[in-house]
Amino acid sequence: MTDRLPHEKGFLVSWDQLHRDARALAWRLQGEAPEDGWHAVVAITRGGMAPAMIIARELDIRTVDTISVKSYDHQTQSEPVVIKSPDMEIVGEGEGVLIIDDLVDTGRTLEVVRKLMPKAHVATVYAKPKGRAQVDSYITEVSQDTWIFFPWDTALQYVKPYRAMD
């Protein structure tokens, strides 16, 4: 995908919106919990860390680990590489484990993560159609040609009035 400015085909997410959407995801995940509850959260760094924290807080999960997968350099995708794995003694094959990311786009990151923890429940806040099959739960779907701008990548700034842009 080529570079886009936020006012082109971009979906801008504020901290407040992210908090609401992550909470909505937590609510949904509570309804999908196994009988003995979720026992751990694994956040896919870095984007999954903010929603994972909110979800762990809502579901009162204290065991939180991370997996680091690097697949994008700015908006250019390359082969996903696992840079850091979670503690496999804790997560095992993923039974009762929630894997959390901010979004799924092509699904390539989750493909790699699922191979490591095949029994885990995978949840993202946002999902694009290509990667949807890789997630068990998500909150909002956005079209494939939309770039999602997260609050940690953006800042409040002055914008020109519409009339001044003619």
Ligand X SMILES: O=c1[nH]c(=O)c2nc[nH]c2[nH]1
- The residues assigned a catalytic role are 101-102, 105
Q: What is the binding site for Mg ion (CB under 5 A)? A: 47
Nearer to ligand PRP, 83 or 159 (CB): 83
Distance CA 50, CA 46 (A): 8
45 assigned binding-site residue: no
Q: How far is CA 92 from CA 46, 85, 109, 115, 116, in A?
A: 22, 12, 19, 12, 9
Cis omega (within 30 of 0) for bond into 28: no
Among 72, 82, 85, 151, binds ligand X (CB under 6 A): 72
Work out whether 131 is an interface residue with ligand PRP (CB under 6 A): yes
Work out whether 152 is an interface residue with ligand X (CB under 6 A): no
Distance CA 132, CA 106 (A): 8
66 assigned binding-site residue: no
105 assigned binding-site residue: yes
Q: Which residues bind ligand X (CB under 6 A)?
A: 72, 103, 105, 147-148, 150, 153
